[in-house]
């Protein structure tokens, strides 16, 4: 920390020697590893860009020059070097540093960026708006597999303005990279240092851990008058042996799980169902490990598809699978499914196709910040025709709905959180479309209505109230998009309290108000 403690702002870096810059990189890796392991967050991706970030701050003049991260989970070293070292121990904590770039946090953060493939589009707009200084996109972790990147690439060629985009090529998204672009980058890794890409000058195969070489290339880019690409090869997890050997596992770390998660139950259950149902396909968008599908991918490679960071394609391709008679289960995080909304509406729901959406990270997801909270899926999916939404209360109910969905002939969304399963219930009423279940029924005039993970806290509260002499009943409103009107009719005249972990629009509470 002898070097890092001297760095208060990026201009402090500019007088360092090459040897001091390398020591600075070591200090950064130590701090990032210490607090990411303690607080949770994105580890391997941030370790991989430490040298690159040091060189960027050495050459460019932030915040006059604008650095746009794509994806934003590469920003930890940048945050530390831009005056936030003394707050880094608060990473992803309440009122602490956000795990992604955040404009409200610092003038050095150009744009809030939690999703992938957005940087080049942002850059096109900023260039047209005549922003002073250089505009630099740091594009990594599979962001080039997203369709928005190619839409922006088509546009950037028409600009008479300079944009620098750096491809952080670590051969990974969150899982291994897939598709044509990954194969193209493999070719670039074997070629010399200069070429062109769609008439854009490209400097290829730059060593992303050679600070001296990075500085030379960045100086060239800074002095150039035209748009250019710098292809920088890095190692995800650099400096931490475990992360280098298993970058997917260390992409995002959290406290050790001792109990099954909803995601692990989903993966195990779908694998079991696929043994007896050859029509089942599993589709994900660069989230093989995160959605629990690693074993499925190994066992059924012909029925597993990772499309890369291309959620819209994942959904529309699944519509094609359903049209062919297959049964697609599409596993995408809640916050990322938002990006495929038109595909869900236009290609699946209007066609009333039997696609199963398995929505991980639904509800609150802790320290990841507002770009990643899964609070909107109920509102936007409820607005689509033919859609059914279900929230399982525990692992057993998740297994049951995944099996039940095999024979359901319309779209269904099954939403569940990131966390460990809090408890297993003794009550498991057979699933019937639109039917809720009583968890506790004693004829009380007070009824608590909830679903999913939140139900566990509601049941705990019911027990605490009982100990105080207050008797309440509890309902598992597991079907969100189909209110159980028969059960609701039995509740007329009673006091109803709703506990739901998503926004108000199209919530069960709002539906009941309309009855």
Q: Assess whether 311 carries a catalytic annotation.
A: yes
Pick the CATH number of 4-244 from 1.10.357.10, 3.40.50.300, 3.20.20.70, 3.40.50.970: 3.40.50.970
Domains of the chain by residue range: 4-244, 262-415, 437-513
Q: Which of 236, 361, 393, 440 is catalytic?
A: 236
Return the number of other C-beta atoms located less than 10 Å from residue 509's C-beta. Answer: 15
- Distance in angstroms (rounded) separating the CA atoms of residues 1 and 80: 12
What long-range pairs does 418-421 form, CB within 8 A, spacing at least 24? 418/261, 418/262, 418/263, 418/360, 418/361, 418/365, 418/366, 419/261, 419/262, 419/453, 420/257, 420/258, 420/259, 420/260, 420/261, 421/259, 421/260, 421/261, 421/262, 421/265, 421/394, 421/395
DSSP state of 103: T
Which pLDDT does position 253 carry in this prediction? 83
Helix H or strand E segment including 311: helix 311-323
* Best CA proximity match to 261, nearest among 362, 142, 122, 133: 362
What class does CATH assign to 262-415?
A: alpha beta
Pairing of strands 356-360, 388-390: unpaired
Query: What string of DSSP letters covers 391-442?
Result: --SSHHHHHHHHHHGGG--S-EEEE--SSBP----S--PPP-TT--EEEE-S
Q: What DSSP character marks residue 82? A: I
The CATH number that domain 437-513 falls under is 3.40.50.920
- Which of 339, 393, 399, 415 is flagged as catalytic? 339
Q: Choose the catalytic residue: 271, 311, 400, 453.
A: 311
- Say what the pLDDT of residue 360 is: 97
Sequence-distant (6+) residues with CB within 8 A of 189 are: 169, 204, 205, 233
Written as tens digits, the pLDDT of the chain (515 aa) is: 889 999 999 999 999 999 999 999 999 999 999 999 999 999 999 999 999 999 999 999 999 999 999 989 999 999 999 999 999 999 999 899 999 999 999 999 999 988 899 999 999 999 999 888 999 999 987 788 888 998 998 998 888 889 999 999 987 655 555 565 666 666 665 555 666 666 788 899 999 999 999 999 999 999 999 999 999 999 999 999 899 888 878 888 875 556 899 999 999 999 999 999 999 999 999 899 999 999 999 999 999 999 999 999 999 999 999 999 999 999 999 999 999 999 999 999 999 999 999 999 999 987 888 888 999 999 999 999 999 999 999 999 999 999 999 999 999 999 999 989 999 999 999 999 999 999 999 999 999 999 999 999 999 999 999 999 999 999 999 999 989 999 999 999 999 999 999 999 999 999 998 87
State the SS3 of 223-236: HCCCCEEEEEECCC
- Per the annotation, the verdict on 339 as an active-site residue is yes
Q: Do domains 4-244 and 437-513 have the same CATH topology?
A: yes
pTM higher than the cut 0.85: yes
The DSSP symbol for 216 reads H
| 8 A C-beta contact, residue 160 and residue 150 | no
Distance CA 170, CA 49 (A): 10
User: Locate tokens 């608060």: which residue?
Assistant: 90
Looking at residue 369, what is its pLDDT? Answer: 82
The four Cα atoms 153, 170, 50, 88 give a dihedral, to 10 degrees, of 90
Question: For the CA atoms of 419, 423, 425, 429, what is the dihedral angle to 10 degrees?
Answer: 0
Query: Residue 266: CB partners within 8 Å, gap ≥ 6?
Result: 291, 292, 331, 358, 360, 398, 402, 416
Query: How many CA atoms are closer than 13 Å to the CA of 28, on its beta-carbon side?
Result: 29
**450 membership: H or E segment, kind and range:** strand 446-450
């Amino acid at each position: 920390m002898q070097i890092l403690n001297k760095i208060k702002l990026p201009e402090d870096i500019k007088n360092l020697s090459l040897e001091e810059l390398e020591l600075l990189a070591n200090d950064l890796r130590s701090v990032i590893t210490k607090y990411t392991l303690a607080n949770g967050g994105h580890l391997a991706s941030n370790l991989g860009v430490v040298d690159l970030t040091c060189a960027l701050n050495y050459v460019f003049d932030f915040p006059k020059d604008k650095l746009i991260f794509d994806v934003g989970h590469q920003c930890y070293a940048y945050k530390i070097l831009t005056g936030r070292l003394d707050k880094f121990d608060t990473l992803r904590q309440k009122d602490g540093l956000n795990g992604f770039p955040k404009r409200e946090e610092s003038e050095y953060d150009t744009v809030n960026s939690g999703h992938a493939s957005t940087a080049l589009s942002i850059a096109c707009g900023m260039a047209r708006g005549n922003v002073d200084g250089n505009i630099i996109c740091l594009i990594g972790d599979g962001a080039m597999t997203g369709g928005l990147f190619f839409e922006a690439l088509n546009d950037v060629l028409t600009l008479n303005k300079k944009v620098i985009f750096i491809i952080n090529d670590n051969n990974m998204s969150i899982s291994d990279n897939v598709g044509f672009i990954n194969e193209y980058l493999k070719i670039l890794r074997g070629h010399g240092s200069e070429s062109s890409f769609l008439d854009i000058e490209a400097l290829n195969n730059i060593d992303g851990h050679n600070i001296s070489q990075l500085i030379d290339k960045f100086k060239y880019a800074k002095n150039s008058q035209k748009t250019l690409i710098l292809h920088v090869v890095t190692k995800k997890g650099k400096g931490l042996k475990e992360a280098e050997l298993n970058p997917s596992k260390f992409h995002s770390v959290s406290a050790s799980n001792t109990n099954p998660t909803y995601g692990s139950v989903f993966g195990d259950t779908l694998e079991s169902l696929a043994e007896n149902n050859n029509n089942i396909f599993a589709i994900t968008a660069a989230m093989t490990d995160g959605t629990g599908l690693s074993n499925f991918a190994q066992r059924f490679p012909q029925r597993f598809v990772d499309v890369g960071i291309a959620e819209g394609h994942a959904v529309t391709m699944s519509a094609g699978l359903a049209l062919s008679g297959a049964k697609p289960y599409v596993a995408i995080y809640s916050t990322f499914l938002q990006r495929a909304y038109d595909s869900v509406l236009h290609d699946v729901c209007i066609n009333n196709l039997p696609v199963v959406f398995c929505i991980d990270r639904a509800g609150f997801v802790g320290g990841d910040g507002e770009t990643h909270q899964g609070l909107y899926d109920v509102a936007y999916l409820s607005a689509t025709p033919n859609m059914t939404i279900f929230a399982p209360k525990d692992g057993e109910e998740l297994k049951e709905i995944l099996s039940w969905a095999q024979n359901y002939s319309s779209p269904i969304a099954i939403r569940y959180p990131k966390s460990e399963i809090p408890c297993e219930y003794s009550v498991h009423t057979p699933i019937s479309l639109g039917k809720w279940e009583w968890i506790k029924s004693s004829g009380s005039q007070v009824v608590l209505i909830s679903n999913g993970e939140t139900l566990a806290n509601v049941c705990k509260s019911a027990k605490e109230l009982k100990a105080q002499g207050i008797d309440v009943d509890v309902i598992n409103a597991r079907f969100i998009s189909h209110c159980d009107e028969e059960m609701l009719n039995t509740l007329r005249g009673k006091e109803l309290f709703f506990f739901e972990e998503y926004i108000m629009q199209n919530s069960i509470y709002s539906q009941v108000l309309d009855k």
